[in-house]
Structure 1
Amino acid sequence: MIDALKDYPVITEISVAWGEMDALNHVNNAVYLRYFETARLEYFSRFSMMEDIPKTKKGPVLGEVTCKYIRPVTYPDTLLIGSRVTNIGEDRFDMEYLAYSKAQGAVTTKGTAKTVMFDFANQCKTTLPSHIREAMEAIEAK
């Protein structure tokens, strides 16, 4: 286990694609938000977060994201993206991400996301279902 990722219960491996680089010959800043999205969905795949949406019409929406760029990443490389939930509220939860470059052997990027549970049918926020809260708590307890 890579020491920098030891506190992240879900690790997602992402290969950097040539087309993700920009004119300055490194991965474009906006691409990291897609990397974090992929990691978030990998985290959600550990329980029924996304599968519930068609029947409940309730699901997570991003309220805020941050991204701190520490080192540039270039093709070819493979990133390990750690994801974890750091805070769970009545109707929201916060996540943190850490990107580790296999080629550089170093942390390259950190990010956060504030996510709100949303009722798509009524267009308003809603409470976080207890089974989702319990699933997140179980993942974080490992």
Structure 2
Amino acid sequence: MRWNFFREFSMMEDLEREKLYPVVIEVNVKYIKELRLFDRFVINSRYWIESNYIVSDHKAVCEGQKTTMMKAKVKMLLVSEDRIVYDIPPHIREVFSAEEPVIAHKGE
């Protein structure tokens, strides 16, 4: 999901050019209801910046029932090939200040 997010909001080229990689450093998942085999669901994701972290909330919602099945919060840092943590570049911060990025992923 994170790669789709960076592609959809036109940040992937910047990250590739600067050789920065979004690395997940923390995940908190709460499973609320069971998703069964072949259940159709949508994962709604919202992204923002906290300090030097890119943070996202994800909710898996079952299409038929409109019931939240799972919630997750993910924290990421931008890291170089040399494993050095970098500040979020200003041009990427601008994407977040212009709007609160939201994306939906369908799943089965």
Structure 1: segments with no counterpart, 5+ residues = 1-37
Q: Name the count of aligned residue pairs.
A: 102
Q: 2:76 aligns with which of 115, 120, 126?
A: 115
Contact kept, 8 Å, 2:45 with 2:56, in 1: the verdict is: yes
Q: Which runs of 4+ in 1 moved over 4 A?
A: none
Structure 1 residue 84 corresponds to structure 2 residue 46: yes
**1:52 aligns to what SS in structure 2?**
helix
More helix by share: 1
More strand by share: 2
Query: Which of 1 and 2 has greater Rg?
Result: 1
TM-score normalised according to structure 1 size? 0.63
For the residues of structure 1 that align with 2:77 and 2:23, how far apart are their CA atoms?
5
1:5-40 CA distance string (max 9 Å, x none) = xxxxxxxxxxxxxxxxxxxxxxxxxxxxxxxxx2x3
Q: What percentage of residue pairs aligned between the two structures are identical?
A: 30
Which structure 2 residues correspond to residues 54-93 of structure 1 after superposition, within 5 A? Answer: 54-89=16-51, 91-93=52-54
How far has the Cα of 1:56 moved from its partner?
A: 1.1
TM-score normalised according to structure 2 size? 0.80
Which one scores higher on RCO, CA 8 angstroms, separation ≥ 6?
A: 2
RMSD over equivalenced CA pairs, Å? 2.0
Match of 1:50 in 2: 12
